[in-house]
Amino acid sequence: MTTLKSNVTVGRPGLLAFGITLSVLSPFHLLDAQPASPAPGERAPSAENGDEAVHLEPVEVTGSRIRTLVGEQTALPVFTVPQFELQQRGITRLADLRWAIPQMSPSMGYNDNYKNSGTSRAQTISSTFALRGFGGNTTLILIDGKRVPHTGQSAPGGAGGREDFNIDGIPASAIERIEVLPQGAGAIYGADAIAGVINVILKKNYTGGEIQFVYDNTFDSDVARKEVSFSGGVRAGKLSAFVTLNAANQAGLARADRWWTASYDLSPWGGANSLLSASYAGPGTLSTGLYPDPQSPYGPGHGSYPAALPGLAVGTVLIPAGSDGTVIPTDADGASLGGHYDAARYLMEIDASRSQSVIAKLDYDLAPWFSPYGQLRWSRFANSYTGAPITINRQLAAGVGGNPFSSPVYLSKVFWDLPRPAIKSTQLNSGIVLGVRGDLSLNDWRYNANFSWARNTTRDRSENDGFNSTALAAALASGLVLAYDSSTPGADPNGDGVLTSLLNGIDHKDVSDVYEYALQADGTIWDGWAGGIKLALGGEIQREKVKFHYEPVVSYLLSEPFNRQTNAAYAELSVPLLSDAQGIPLVHKLSVSGAVRYEDWSDIGDHTTPALSLLFQPKKWLSLRASRTEGFKAPKLYELLAPVYETDQTIYNAANYIDRLRNNEALDPNYNYHLVSGGQPHLKPEKSVTRNAGVVLDVPVIKGLSFSVDFWDIDYTDKVGGPGYQVIMDYFPERVTRAAPEGDGLPGKITGLDTSSINMAKEKLKGVDYRVTFQRVFPLGEIFFSFAYSDVGKRTTKATPSSANVVTKNPDRASAALFWSRGPWNAGASANYQSAYPKSAYTTLEYSSYTELNPQIAYDFGRDPAFKDASGWRRLLDKTRVSLTIINALKEEPSYSDVVNSSFVGDPRLRRYVITLTKAF
């Protein structure tokens, strides 16, 4: 029999795991909440079936170091997504969880909360969690309370420079619950918790075994995700052990399989035809302009070239079929050029990927005061990317091989005969925790001492990433011929392997390690008139080590290893001021809590972070809560250490930049300014302050019904960025260099600007979070309903303390679920919604709204008496659960306007089905 160890006293049989999760970790506990359905084959302990009830014991909830009793209300708005909800929503990848948490950043597409880009392909397709729209590096990700390393820290911009926390590779089947704290938590967890914390709690205290198969695919194309996992646990005397193994294979989705991504020609829907700036699909062209199509909006004259090719009447000609570069092109009209090359036909919208993971836990209760424990986790996420055929748009000087004309011409062609770019990328995540915990002889005090190590390895490997421009230029000067017909086998005059030797290979590897030594103790220091005053004390030593590798060498990437050590000490105090023991009318409980954390960083100095919260319950069923918390994070490595780059050059569009100290004089478009960019080692940490005030109502007359509403706002200050030229001139005169004054009473003319990183921006965001749950057993079955809605106000951004406000709007987001269960049957649906929102502050274009309906039906043979202790084929189905989930049942897809504006935020897989089979033994 499969069982779960619980710290909850259960009074009736039913859905045990569900009741535990709601009462422990929801921001409101349910009065008379019914336990939720056990796993297949599991039997919930209860007084009615003769099982022994289990005592309430304190548990640790995300956002506090002080253990609280199961079901006890907290002052912080912590909420939980339990494992059963992942199952009912049909979530097979953690990336899909972002729709179920309205406080997450806007959701877009398949992989991430963002349209990623960057130097590393591994980072481009990775998934992270981000709260409140502040970016993945402002939400701290924990696994069982331990931080995971940053990923991809060597590259600027895009995915690489965000220093996110990658969550790929953690299987949904290994998760017990996910706890979310959507506000700053620096006093508890230290750096990176600017917008909040997401704590992934892995399964534990599990006995028995379970194997699960998942098949997730679309209705109209093969984008199958196939997954198998095994979970097994044993408890023998003082020893308990648990292991889970998982493997998954995700097929890719070609852009050609979706009508709105199948071509770069959007003119059928009222958009632009980007193919006008692309090469022609045949042997290639020679022309007097960089873009071969005379109708290209980017070509000379914006529609027709000003001069014909020497000796011809047109400005663009086709390389003759079969040409080896020695055949002179002849006059050609537009019709003979043929169609354009459309790279979209060769690209993938979703990369094919594979993942594997191993998680193991071991606990040994040697004595009440000495219980050693350990955890091991390893996961690998690998994807394969194949790009479109290599193209070239390059000027060939007169006399260069393949240019038969007496003047320079532009070559535009597709190299059909060269291998397509391909990158193999991996994300490896590993972790070890070794510790000991136990009860102290002092009242209810407990201690926990542990060592942990976590590593993320981001790697990209490719033998073909396009031409090496330096090697190509040298080869052209030595007689290389490019203007041949690559669509004809054997036409290449350069010899076997000459062109392939000019292709770039990539070997990129970032390795981030986090080592931590931690010691903590908590318990009651005095039993006061209103209850126990509780204290938590602890200290941590953390060390981060990062190594970078990139070949070929890229000047703007980090290359030197980096080490950083942080020594921290913290304290948290919870003081009950009043309780129902005093007999005061309309006072059930009044308590105040405070926390402070001091950290000393080896590179940025020390930092102190406080937190304060208040909880007032006039009645047990009504809670008023308020909190003020802070968060901070160290500047990104790239912002601190990026190589300094200096150049003397003209400034594009210089006449648009005004020197206000010289009577609004415009910059000189012909002057070579001395420009400096790069890291800044003296940056300050970024900071946040979150204020929250909320009400929780457990409706006394309708048991199982709860409401909560939380009003919140976040001030995010000292944000690091690279300021633009006008901002530097207006607000940072120390970053401007000038010539000597000219005697007219004005400062000298500007001669240089420093655009390196600086603490400059401030953001403010506020909103309201609503949450409703209802769970109740009726004669016709059990009903569970949940609804969560985040109403986000305007986001105000100031580039500098003195600059004007820029106002944008994040989307409102909602998530709901309604399920009914009776006996072996379970049926219902979940729904997700995201409102339309502006693409930026500087355009009227919007990302479209998105609504998703996901129905599910499931049958648990283990709860059907006909299969209990049966024989023959029926025995095979005992303890087996089968479910079918339809994702995006309404087939929400983009409108023509969405296609033109690239504003569709939905998953490109569209409508799909998820079949899950779980067998316990």
pLDDT, tens digit (0-9, with 9 covering 90-100), for 582-622: 999 999 999 999 999 999 999 889 999 999 999 999 999 99
pLDDT mean over 628-635: 94
> Given this model, what pLDDT does residue 298 score?
63
pLDDT digits (tens, 9 = 90+) for 694-740: 999 999 999 999 999 999 999 999 998 888 899 899 988 999 999 99
pLDDT band at 353 (very low <50, low <70, confident <90, very high): very high
- Mention every residue, 6+ apart, whose C-beta is less than 8 A from residue 834: 106, 107, 811, 812, 813, 849, 850, 905
d(CA 76, CA 82): 18
What secondary structure letter does DSSP report for 364?
E
pTM score, whole prediction: 0.88
Q: What is the end-to-end Cα distance of the chain in Å, rounded?
A: 7
Nearest to 814 by CA among 180, 99, 86: 99
pLDDT mean over 210-218: 95
pLDDT digits (tens, 9 = 90+) for 469-487: 899 999 998 989 999 999 9
pLDDT band at 159 (very low <50, low <70, confident <90, very high): very low
> Given this model, what pLDDT does residue 753 score?
96
pLDDT digits (tens, 9 = 90+) for 242-290: 999 999 999 999 999 999 999 999 999 999 999 988 888 888 888 888 8
Tell which wins on pLDDT, 136 or 297.
136
> Given this model, what pLDDT does residue 51 score?
41
Name the phi and psi angles at 185, rounded to 5.
-145, 40
d(CA 528, CA 592): 14
d(CA 146, CA 432): 10
Q: What is the CA radius of gyration of the chain?
A: 31
* pLDDT, the chain, mean: 86
pLDDT mean over 212-221: 94
> Given this model, what pLDDT does residue 817 score?
95
Residues, the chain, total? 921
> Given this model, what pLDDT does residue 126 score?
76
d(CA 189, CA 664): 49
Listed in order, strand segments (DSSP E) in 203-287 are 206-218, 225-236, 239-250, 253-254, 285-287
